[in-house]
Amino acid sequence: MDYGRMFHMDGRQAFVLGAGSGIGRESARALAAHGARVICADRDLPAATETAALIDDAAVPYELDALDRAAVAAAATEFPDVETLVFTAATNVRKRLLEYSVSEYDRVVSLNLGSSFDLIRAFGANMVRRQRGSIIGMSSIRHRVVEPGQGVYAATKAAVVQLLRTAAAEFGPSGVRANAIAPGVVDTALTQQIKNNPSWYQAYADKSALRRWAQPEEIAGAVVYLASDASRFVTGSVLYVDGGWTAVDGRFDPPGI
């Protein structure tokens, strides 16, 4: 192992779904900084183009609606040499179970879980054929801990973990790895509803050991690690990047200790 180059990805191609903003954008930038050629995919092409412009020659924008199964298959056909797949696209409807509509349930499940299934299969088939690759999906701390109003989102994020673990088991003999990242609370568009409520925002900040929210760029290091040779014996795992959220109970600080 050349430790000086263990994070280098020169000549490798990465496909980042959700690259138009947030964690996806920062992941694309970080991968490119370590030598990868990045396809910045997003349903919002202008946003994907903006991300690619931040990276310059090492990136190309690509319009892709993750809910379009045929389009996902076409993307995998167009980019058969992708060695790293990162998918971050997700949505959430924060409602208690008894208040959920069927259409809201379908919307959350279709994007968070259905698109993950399609992406893993489409790009994973190419990786298996080429005998190498790394699949990285965004789960969440909600796959492990939940609260009122997060049930359907949490269920999809737990399912994504199990899909990736299954991919690790099935693709592993072909040299393909699959792992999940479980961020805590991150300052992105998906959490705007919480940020709009100061007491809710502060409660989330206080829950983590670091007493603050994460910024999207603080998740990108985990993506680079799982994409690179630094993690070449890591598969079927969940990497928590949550500021200590899942490690600390956080409800009471005993006095006098």
* Tens digits of residue pLDDT in 98-128: 999 999 999 999 999 999 999 999 999 999 9
The catalytic site residues sit at: 153
Check whether 44 has a pLDDT greater than 70: yes
Domain locations in the chain as residue ranges = 3-242
Check whether 201 has a pLDDT greater than 70: yes
Question: Which of the pair, 249 or 219, is modelled with greater confidence?
Answer: 219
What would the two tokens of residue 247 be?
């490690």
CA 198 to chain centre: 26
Check whether 1 has a pLDDT greater than 90: no
pLDDT at residue 251 in the model: 67
Rounded to 5 degrees, φ, ψ at 181 are: -110, 135
Strand-pairing partners, residue 135, are 85, 178
Strand-pairing partners, residue 179, are 136
pLDDT at residue 207 in the model: 87
Check whether 89 has a pLDDT greater than 80: yes
3-state secondary structure of 176: strand
CA–CA gap between residue 58 and residue 21 (Å, rounded): 18
3-state secondary structure of 36: coil
CATH code assigned to 3-242: 3.40.50.720
Cβ within 8 Å of residue 257, ≥6 positions away: none
